Structures are given as C-alpha cells and as structure tokens.
Structure 1
C-alpha cells in the first residue's frame, strides 16, 4: 500500500499508482490547508519508521499492516475536516 498524499488534484497521481499495480483507493481528502498535506506525509512516514514498519519498495510503499496506523493519523490530523 502507498499513502499517496498530495496537495493538488489527486487524479493524475491515482492513475500513476494504478499503473504501478495499486488498484484500490481507501480514502481521498481534498482542500487541505496550505502545507497540511506535506506535514501529514512527514508525520506518517516518521511514525511508520518509529513503530518499525519499513517500506517494502522504495520509500513510500508499505505492507498492508501500515493502513490502520495511517488511517488513524488522517482521522486525527487538524488539517482534515
């Protein structure tokens, strides 16, 4: 799974990820405040590293066990309503 976090239009990125074999979108949020997407991505990657969940490919492709942690961080992020 990949936490795809972008501050722009997510559709082009979703298409890129689909071509890479990722074919299920779990959640999409748009209209986040300035820098909120960047901050959320940093928090997610740092948290996964801190709990010992390492990427299985590159630096942002993780095992499925990361999903509940990522969703919890998204639910609790102040930039997402």
Structure 2
C-alpha cells in the first residue's frame, strides 16, 4: 500500500503516525514548497489515479502499491519539483 498527501504541520509527526499504521518507507518528502504547489500536486495525483481507474484501498489517499510509479512520475515531473531537484 502507498500513501501520499500533504500536511501543513510537522511532516515527521505525520510520518510517525503513518509508520504506526504499517507504512514504514518514505519514498519522497518535500518541505517548504511555494504556496499552493503541494495541494496542486495532490489534486493532480488524485485526478490521474481516477483516470487510471485506481481506487483507494482505504480512505482517499491510500492506494495499492502498483500505483506508486504513476504517483512518482507525476511528482517528479512537476515543474517546481524538477527545479528543486536540479
């Protein structure tokens, strides 16, 4: 299972909560993004997963592990993320 999302609080606290939930590997973590970028990426990712007919296995942001490549592709190719990674 893969979980993606944003938080306006302490990312490490959220990650600890997810770890207690059985999610124990962080694949990508970006902090300090410009206003609106995280929400834009999250909304784009949800729309792409819907288009790919991927259904959440729990809640709104927990998907089967097979969705990870699509999620990473969308994140890694966002212009702001690409600029950060250069």
Work out whether the TM-score is over 0.5. yes
More helix by share: 2
Post-superposition CA distance 1:19-63 (Å, at most 9, x none): 111111111112211010011100001110111011011111100
d(CA) in 1 for partners of 2:77 and 2:8?
A: 18
More strand by share: 2
For these two proteins, the number of residue pairs brought into alignment is: 81
| Two-structure CA RMSD over aligned residues (Å) | 1.2
Report how far residue 8 of structure 1 moved: 4.3
Structure 2: any 5+ residue segments left out of the alignment? none
Q: Spell out structure 1 runs of 4+ moving beyond 3 A.
A: none
- TM-score normalised by structure 2 residue count: 0.86
- TM-score normalised by structure 1 residue count: 0.90
Is the 8 Å Cα contact of residues 7 and 32 (structure 1) preserved in structure 2? no
